[in-house]
Structure 1
Amino acid sequence: MFTKVLIADDIDFNDLGAVQTLNELDVAEIQFAKYCDEALLKVKKANFDGTPFQLLISDLSFKADHQLNKLNSGEELIAAVKKECPNIKVIVFSIEDKAHRIKLLFDALHIDGYVLKGRNKIYDLRRAIQKAYKEEQENISPELLYVLQDMTTSEINNYDVQLIKYLSRGISLENIEAVFKLEGISPNSKSSIEKHINKLKIYFKANNTVHLVAIAKDLGIV
């Protein structure tokens, strides 16, 4: 079983269920972080000390407050942690149940489990931790299994999400083209980006780009 686990969640109440589960599994060391930047710093320090975390249990939503952070969501935290510690196991523990968002977590960030917060959270979290340790597949809350089986979600990939995110921020096509080229994201020409946006409009039955962004937000894609 895992011996060193980090819990990233900004609500103390949610920590209690996770801690109870980890204690029942005899996990020797449990640390906490209420901010994404704080969690990443703990991961970096643990690596530097030669005692890396083996498992990260993270929420997706972190409420903004007076403290300024570079990382502001579970997705951003997971991506950063994976760069620092590629072998770490990651379980998302969240109330989020949007199919597209969950599917992308598995496909793009390669998380090891997803547990929906709710009445059976302790049982489901325990099961997810055990499965992650054994590296078993389809490690997800039973009521969300349809997410992995829903073929429509497979048509939306990480490129689409990045593109819609930039559109939601009001970034022009010229600037999106420049950013994609800088980051090595392909296709990255203005014409190919326009074609991709049109494809997304058709897929989501959006009347225009503003409507596309609104639909994506409703579905939890961005």
Structure 2
Amino acid sequence: MPLIVKIDCPHCHTKSSGFQVEGGFRRSSDLISRRDPAVFIDEDWFLLSCGRCKKCITAQYISEHNSHRELKNVLSQHGSLEDIGYTYKVHFPSEVTLEEPEHLPSKVASPFRQAISNISAENWDAAGTMVRKALDVATRDMARTRIGNEKRSETIVKLWLKKRIEALTSEGLLTVDLSDLAGVLKDGGDEAAHDDEPYSKEDAIRLVGYAQAFLTYAYTVPGMVAEVRERVEDSPSSNTGSRPTD
């Protein structure tokens, strides 16, 4: 649909991101007959997708007009919602909460918690720096715990972070996408720690969100799989050798 609005994205934190209207729901339409001239007041909710990260929000808009108009006719128009008489009220989610992923080793969780705390305290440089430390500790932990050859493991642990990421990718412990994401975390953390200019709020929030995603794929998903496998192995059907039927 060609209708576009500008809203700060709560997911990727892009300022005044262009959101495309994907659909809508009319909550109410009231005729105020005692006004001169009489007007219709519509309360409509729209599903909007961010032009940058493609994630969605819902937003409430109000419009006043002199004749009844169907929502389906609104959705077929071009331009922005403001151009066709809508006034923005609120959107959800307004802010995405950063949370610690599950199954993190304590030594990895500690710097990531500090990154989140620094976001709350608006210490943007410190938040970015702690993201880099969380990545540094996580990649050393992955080398120590997921590579069977102890000599190879310690060799990778001692590498500089960039080379360590490349080595973990070669070992098959990081996918290409996760390796690229790790590179983004490293570069962002380096910028926050060493650049002359202050690290921005938007970049810090975005970087901590990326770190949350990286740690989720690196630790939470394998942890969940291990839990499922353990439950299956401990189930009565597993112990008796029976198989589920189709």
Bigger radius of gyration: 2
Q: TM-score, normalised by structure 1?
A: 0.24
Q: Give the structure with the larger strand fraction.
A: 2
